[in-house]
């Protein structure tokens, strides 16, 4: 007793002996939720994953994560319509993260620095025929190649790229970017045969010993409107116009050009007409702006470049030098109705941009393939009714965007891989969404987004120079760091810091945290204060 301090009869002990975890009725658990950007991405990118790397300035690492799913970062960073940004929770704080601008920065860096995609896996001996070298076909070929399969792409046109080259004007998507990203795929060992239209898929498959085929021929045939046209009227198809321009044929459109249609192609062709010297370009659309299928940004750019819009109008007749328009109004269901009111409009040419259909004749001899409304029907694994024949991209309808096509190509590649192995394709697990109301937005300071430079409208009219510029490294880093990491831990130490019971154990960089359930009382402060909503409070298991 003598060696004990005054008035102490028991040894001094630590409160660590007192396991306060026994008080708990609820416990915190770390969760990984699906971020809204990843959820919205038609290509299935792990956007949050590559932003996480980019935040550290590890651009090559970020790019590597990106090309795990999408081989076209530089193309996407220009031509994607950015559903990720529309879904971004940051818009509730200030503005959405400029994901697309960062993607372009990474894609351009990769081209400039010559970053390489991972080498393909060991050869499997399987051969796959891909018909069409648009975004869907190339994406499928890329993923099949990485899985070790031998891929042969047949392209009808003299140059690869499909709509990347023949559909999207160069001022939106410079051809050097398209070429660079396609070259990266052929450099992996994918065989690309251009100028080789496949007219009969079944005989090619049997003759050349392919184990499976992916049909991604796109939708190349412009729809006709059956407009009564006089002999002198100049009526041009938008798809053919854009395609011909790419092969060096400048269409004589004249000074007064009318574009009929309200989709992205209509905007593309109207903006192209301006660049070809038209002084008065008018888009005629039968409904109103809010019902236009074209993306807002495209419409805004067209308007900025001087294109005029005629809403609620149809083209009734085309004659030499003039058009007759009919006014429409909308019925209760928003469908356009003719009013009988006619009006004349001077026009040197009329460009039809009324939508596109696929040419499906190559599938005629394949048994079981079903088509409807000009598109091929596929199951959720992208397989047609004919075993071993898959399809994707515009040929199957869907949303008809480049990003969607890339995603379908990737999904098809996974399905084809499983098919050739005799497995059922694996589907990604459904994770619950990281909704904005789960975040603690207090922790994020306002930080307005970095804007990409844009070519002044007046300087766009005489050339096909790229309209939208890229971000510099500093701006891209700034922008990447605006990501709030919705639903997934980004190691901010908040849970570790705010626990009154020191019941959060920090495991070190990249390893996140662990709850010490011996002491966690289940107060839930960490749940409430987690900036990104990556902790759930669940009833204590009995």
Contact of 98 with 85, CB cutoff 8 Å: yes
Query: Is residue 1 a contact point for other proteins (CB under 8 A)?
Result: no
Query: How far is Cα 145 from Cα 220, in angstroms, rounded to an integer?
Result: 26
- Measure the CA–CA gap between 409 and 415, rounded to whole angstroms: 10
Within 433-472, which residues bind other proteins (CB under 8 A)? 442-447
Cα separation of 448 and 200, whole Å?
54
Select the residue interacting with other proteins from 3, 11, 226, 430 (CB under 8 A). Answer: 11
C-beta closer to other proteins: residue 19 or 176: 19
518 is a contact residue toward other proteins (CB under 8 A): yes
DSSP class of 442: G
**What is the nearest approach in angstroms of other proteins to the Cβ of residue 157?**
45
* Cβ closest to other proteins, residue 222 vs residue 531: 531
Give me the least distance between CB of 526 and other proteins, in Å please: 9
The reply to whether 497 sits near other proteins by the rule CB under 8 A is yes
Q: Which of 1, 13, 207, 367 binds other proteins (CB under 8 A)?
A: 13
Q: What's the length of the chain?
A: 542
Among 1, 3, 6, 8, binds other proteins (CB under 8 A): 8
3-state secondary structure 326-367: EEEEECCCCCEEEEEEEEEEECCEEEECCCEECCCHHHCCCC
Residue that has been written with the tokens 């708990």 in this structure:
24
Cα(119)–Cα(431) distance, integer angstroms: 30
What single DSSP character describes residue 100? H
In the complex, what is the shortest distance from the CB of residue 89 to other proteins, in angstroms, rounded to a whole number? 15
CB 448 to other proteins: min, Å? 9
CB count in 10 Å sphere of residue 96: 21
Q: Based on CB atoms, which residue is closest to other proteins, 15 or 372?
A: 15
Q: Which tokens in the block code for residue 44?
A: 């299935």
Instruction: Quote the CA–CA distance of 323 and 263 in Å, as a whole number.
Output: 21
Least spacing, CB of residue 286 vs other proteins, in Å: 46
CA 228 remoteness from chain centre: 39
Residues 6+ apart with CB under 8 A from 380: none
Footprint (CB under 8 A) of other proteins, residues 201-260: none
| Per-residue mark of binding to other proteins, 465-494 (x: CB under 8 A) | -------------x--xxx------xxxxx
Closest CA to 198 of 405, 361, 441, 390: 361
Nearest alpha carbon to residue 223 among 347, 341, 391, 355: 355
- Mask: binding to other proteins, 110-139, rule CB under 8 A, as x and -? ------------------------------
Can you tell me the distance from the alpha carbon of 376 to that of 116, in angstroms, rounded to the nearest whole number? Answer: 35
6 in contact with other proteins (CB under 8 A) = no
Pick from 130, 198, 175: which is nearest to 410 by CA?
Answer: 130
Count of residues in contact with other proteins, rule CB under 8 A = 54
What x/- string results for residues 385 through 424 when contact with other proteins is judged by CB under 8 A?
Answer: ----------------------------------------
Question: CA 74 to CA 72: how far, in whole Å?
Answer: 6
Q: How far is the CB of 2 from other proteins (least distance, A)?
A: 17
Question: Which position among 55, 108, 305, 394 is part of the footprint of other proteins (CB under 8 A)?
Answer: 55
**Structure tokens given for 440:** 């603690």
Spatial distance between the Cα atoms of 287 and 345, rounded to a whole number of angstroms: 18
Start-to-end CA distance of the chain, whole Å, equals 44
The whole-angstrom separation of Cα 292 and Cα 21 is 59
Instruction: Give 179 or 529: the residue with its C-beta nearer to other proteins.
Output: 529
Contact yes or no for 271/173 (Cβ under 8 A):
no
Residue whose CB is less far from other proteins, 229 or 517:
517
Residue 12 is a binding residue for other proteins (CB under 8 A): yes
Q: Which of 175, 481 has the CB closer to other proteins?
A: 481
Binding mask 56-85 for other proteins (x = CB under 8 A): x-----------------------------
**Closest distance of CB 88 from other proteins, Å:** 15
User: In the bound complex, what is the minimum distance in angstroms from residue 500's beta carbon to other proteins?
Assistant: 4
Of the two residues 30 and 464, which places its CB atom closer to other proteins in the complex? Answer: 30
Minimum CB–partner distance for residue 513 and other proteins (Å): 10
For residue 329, the Cα-to-chain-centroid distance in whole angstroms is: 34
Only one residue has tokens 């199957």, namely 396
Which of 25, 429 has the CB closer to other proteins?
A: 25
Nearer to other proteins, 400 or 521 (CB): 521
* Beta sheet of 336-346, edge-to-edge order: 313-319, 322-330, 336-346
Residue 20 beta carbon to other proteins: minimum distance, rounded to whole angstroms: 6
Chain contacts with other proteins (rule: CB under 8 A): 8, 10-20, 23, 55-56, 442-447, 478, 481-483, 490-494, 496-503, 506, 508-509, 516, 518-519, 521-525, 527-529, 531, 537
């Amino acid at each position: 007793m003598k060696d004990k301090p005054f008035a102490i009869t028991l040894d001094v002990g630590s409160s660590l002996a007192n396991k306060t975890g026994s008080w708990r009725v609820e416990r915190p658990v770390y969760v990984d939720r699906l971020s809204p950007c990843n959820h919205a991405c038609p290509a299935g990118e792990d956007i949050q994953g590559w932003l996480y790397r980019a935040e550290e300035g590890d651009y090559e690492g970020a790019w590597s994560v990106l090309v795990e799913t999408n081989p076209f970062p530089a193309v996407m960073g220009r031509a994607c319509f950015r559903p990720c940004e529309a879904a971004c929770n940051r818009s509730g704080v200030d503005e959405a993260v400029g994901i697309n601008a960062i993607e372009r920065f990474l894609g351009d860096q990769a081209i400039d620095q010559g970053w390489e995609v991972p080498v393909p896996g060991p050869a499997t001996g399987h051969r796959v025929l891909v018909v069409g070298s648009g975004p869907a076909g190339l994406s499928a070929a890329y993923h099949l190649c990485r899985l070790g399969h031998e891929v042969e792409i047949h392209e009808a046109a003299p140059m690869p790229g499909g709509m990347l080259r023949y559909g999207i004007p160069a001022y939106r998507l410079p051809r050097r970017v398209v070429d660079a990203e396609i070259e990266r795929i052929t450099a992996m060992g994918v065989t690309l045969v251009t100028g080789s239209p496949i007219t009969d898929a079944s005989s090619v498959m049997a003759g050349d010993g392919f184990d499976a085929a992916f049909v991604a021929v796109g939708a190349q045939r412009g729809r006709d409107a059956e407009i009564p046209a006089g002999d002198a009227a100049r009526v041009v198809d938008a798809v053919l116009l854009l395609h011909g321009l790419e092969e060096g044929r400048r269409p004589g459109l004249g000074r007064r050009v009318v574009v009929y249609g309200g989709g992205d192609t209509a905007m593309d062709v109207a903006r192209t007409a301006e660049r070809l010297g038209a002084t008065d370009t008018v888009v005629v659309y039968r409904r109103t702006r809010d019902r236009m299928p074209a993306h807002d940004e495209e419409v805004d750019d067209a308007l900025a470049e001087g294109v005029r819009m005629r809403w609620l109008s149809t083209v009734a007749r085309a004659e030499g030098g003039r058009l007759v328009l009919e006014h429409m109004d909308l019925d209760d269901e928003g469908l356009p109705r003719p009013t009988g009111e006619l009006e004349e409009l001077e026009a040197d040419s009329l460009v039809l941009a009324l939508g596109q259909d696929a040419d499906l004749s190559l599938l005629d001899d394949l048994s079981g393939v079903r088509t409807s409304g000009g598109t091929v029907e596929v199951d959720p694994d992208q397989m047609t009714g004919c075993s071993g024949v898959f399809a994707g991209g515009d040929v199957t309808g869907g949303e008809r965007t480049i990003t969607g096509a890339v995603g379908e190509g990737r999904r098809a590649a996974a399905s084809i891989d499983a098919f050739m192995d005799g497995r059922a394709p694996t589907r990604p697990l459904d994770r619950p969404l990281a909704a904005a109301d789960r975040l603690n937005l207090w922790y994020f300071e306002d930080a307005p987004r970095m804007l990409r430079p844009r070519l002044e409208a007046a300087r766009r009219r005489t050339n096909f120079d790229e309209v939208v510029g890229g971000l510099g490294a500093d701006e891209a880093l700034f922008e990447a760091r605006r990501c709030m990491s919705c639903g997934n831990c980004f190691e901010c130490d908040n849970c570790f810091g705010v626990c009154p019971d020191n019941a959060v154990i920090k495991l070190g960089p990249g390893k996140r945290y662990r709850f010490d359930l011996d002491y966690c009382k289940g107060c839930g402060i960490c749940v409430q204060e987690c900036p990104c909503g990556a902790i759930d409070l669940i009833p204590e298991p009995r």
